[in-house]
């Protein structure tokens, strides 16, 4: 099994062809993709400066090319841009990089740009292409990135195993008398030790803080009986992210907590069971939500059931009510219902799943019970 998903020449060519087809189907004449997850997906290029224009130019008709400041050209070595042999158009300070890109694209009418393109480049291109309209490339590129290929699924499995290995250690750190921040520091170090490039987020929500889904860490001291939400993740070197939540109890949380938690666990299982080809994203949300609502906690489940994941922690498809997107094999997303009782406690269970031919695969395998520490 390879340890990177860095696109080789064949993969770059295949992804560029699919991007062209999707652009053509959308009536777009050219894509302009600056550094960010879309560029990483298409070419493996990750970092380039913000104020100097680097961009993939991908016309529907004609060859792809890459605009880059000459001083950053060496950084393309080994990337998909380099390996694919596409033409590189470099420029030096003082030259008009937007005019260079516009000249290369020629007489195009609809140009779709990456969602995270800095405004100075959007406006710069617009000024040099007065006859073209600029629009977001997101509707085109999400069609590609939403459907993971086998190597991407492998990367998500590795990310899942890495964060599972951190969750396995968490009970040892949740000790009465320690603060959330102290526990968070242990978790942060373990996330990196498990092979992530960074701990992108570490939520340790104890007691009442667990009722705030995006709480991070605080100086609150853990007490016996606390319920603690631990939601953690980050990127592996190849760029794919982990994201998993388990809920723990410091000592005995009592029967009332266990009863509510059992509802949540059934809801999460129902969401997983509903995730299969042909179901919609909204069906998965409703499967989980119905169980929580029927138990009387509908008002306490205050977010969508999940989000897509890949090169970004949050990307398409979003698993929320009313999303009619039909699930297909290769789509990867979280299933993370929660129940939040304000000023008391909260609980959430989160797995990343990948839709398979018949159902879905959970890449997170840690026990989903309320784990007493």
- Strands (DSSP E) contained in 130-226 are 133-136, 201-206
In whole angstroms, the minimum distance from the beta carbon of 32 to Zn ion comes to 30
If DSSP codes are grouped into helix, strand and coil, which group holds residue 338? Answer: strand
64 and 339 in contact (C-beta within 8 Å)? no
Q: Tokens 């994203």 correspond to what residue? A: 281
In whole angstroms, the minimum distance from the beta carbon of 175 to Zn ion comes to 23
CA–CA distances in Å: residue 75 to residues 47, 71, 80: 9, 9, 11
Candidate ranges 23-31, 177-185, 226-234, 318-326; the one touching Zn ion (CB under 5 A): 226-234
Residue from 164, 243, 285, 315 binding Zn ion (CB under 5 A):
243
Tokens encoding 354: 């990948």
Distance CA 346, CA 362 (A): 23
Instruction: Verify binding: residue 231, Zn ion, rule CB under 5 A.
Output: yes
Alpha-carbon 340 to chain mean position: 24
Backbone angles phi, psi at 371, to 5 degrees: -100, 115
Candidate ranges 23-31, 60-68, 182-190, 343-351; the one touching Zn ion (CB under 5 A): 343-351
Cβ proximity to Zn ion: between 11 and 307 the closer is 307
Distance CA 187, CA 196 (A): 12
243 and 318 in contact (C-beta within 8 Å)? no
Instruction: Verify binding: residue 316, Zn ion, rule CB under 5 A.
Output: no
Cβ proximity to Zn ion: between 109 and 365 the closer is 365
Candidate ranges 66-74, 139-147, 210-218, 345-353; the one touching Zn ion (CB under 5 A): 345-353
Residue from 334, 338, 354, 363 binding Zn ion (CB under 5 A):
334
In whole angstroms, the minimum distance from the beta carbon of 121 to Zn ion comes to 30
Q: From the CA atom positions of the chain, what is the Rg in Å?
A: 23
Cβ proximity to Zn ion: between 29 and 350 the closer is 350
Candidate ranges 123-131, 150-158, 227-235, 250-258; the one touching Zn ion (CB under 5 A): 227-235
Tokens encoding 348: 């959430």
Of 363, 273, 277, nearest in space to 317 by CA = 277
> Among residue numbers 349 through 368, which ones bind Zn ion (CB under 5 A)?
350
Candidate ranges 30-38, 159-167, 236-244, 360-368; the one touching Zn ion (CB under 5 A): 236-244
Tokens encoding 214: 């995006």
In whole angstroms, the minimum distance from the beta carbon of 309 to Zn ion comes to 7
In whole angstroms, the minimum distance from the beta carbon of 243 to Zn ion comes to 4
For strand 133-136 and strand 110-113, is the pairing parallel, antiparallel, or unpaired?
parallel
Instruction: Verify binding: residue 312, Zn ion, rule CB under 5 A.
Output: no
Cβ proximity to Zn ion: between 68 and 187 the closer is 187
Length of the chain: 373
Q: What x-and-dash track marks residues 172-211 binding Zn ion by CB under 5 A?
A: ----------------------------------------
Q: Which residues bind Zn ion (CB under 5 A)?
A: 231, 243, 245, 334, 350
């Amino acid at each position: 099994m390879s340890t990177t998903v860095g696109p080789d020449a064949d993969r770059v060519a295949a992804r560029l062809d699919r991007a062209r087809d999707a652009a053509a189907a959308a009536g777009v004449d050219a894509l302009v993709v600056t550094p960010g997850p879309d560029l990483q997906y298409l070419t493996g290029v990750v970092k380039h400066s913000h104020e100097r224009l680097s961009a993939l130019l991908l016309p529907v008709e004609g060859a792809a090319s890459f605009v880059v400041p000459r001083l950053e050209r060496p950084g393309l070595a080994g990337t998909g841009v380099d390996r694919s042999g596409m033409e590189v158009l470099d420029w030096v300070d003082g030259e008009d990089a937007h005019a260079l890109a516009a000249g290369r694209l020629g007489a195009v009418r609809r140009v779709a740009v990456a969602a995270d393109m800095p405004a100075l480049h959007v406006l710069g291109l617009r000024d040099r292409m007065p006859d073209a309209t600029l629009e977001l490339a997101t509707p085109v590129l999400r069609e590609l990135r939403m459907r993971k290929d086998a190597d991407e699924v492998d990367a998500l499995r590795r990310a899942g195993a890495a964060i599972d290995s951190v969750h396995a250690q968490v009970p040892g750190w949740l000790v009465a008398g320690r603060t959330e921040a102290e526990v968070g520091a242990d978790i942060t170090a373990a996330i990196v030790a498990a092979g992530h490039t960074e701990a992108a987020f570490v939520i340790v929500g104890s007691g009442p803080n667990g009722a705030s889904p995006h709480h991070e860490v605080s100086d609150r001291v853990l007490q016996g009986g606390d319920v603690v939400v631990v939601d953690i993740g980050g990127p592996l070197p190849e760029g794919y992210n982990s994201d998993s939540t388990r809920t723990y109890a410091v000592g005995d949380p009592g029967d009332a907590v266990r009863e509510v938690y059992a509802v949540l666990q059934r809801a999460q299982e129902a969401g997983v069971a509903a995730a299969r080809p042909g179901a919609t994203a909204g069906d998965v949300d409703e499967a989980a939500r119905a169980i929580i609502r029927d138990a009387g906690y509908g008002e306490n489940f205050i977010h969508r059931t999940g989000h897509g994941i890949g090169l970004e922690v949050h990307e398409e498809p979003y698993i929320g009510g009313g999303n009619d997107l039909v699930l297909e094999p290769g789509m990867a997303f979280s299933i993370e219902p929660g129940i939040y009782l304000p000023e008391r406690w909260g609980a959430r269970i989160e797995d990343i799943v990948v839709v398979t031919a018949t159902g879905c695969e959970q890449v997170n395998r840690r026990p989903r019970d309320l784990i007493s520490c």
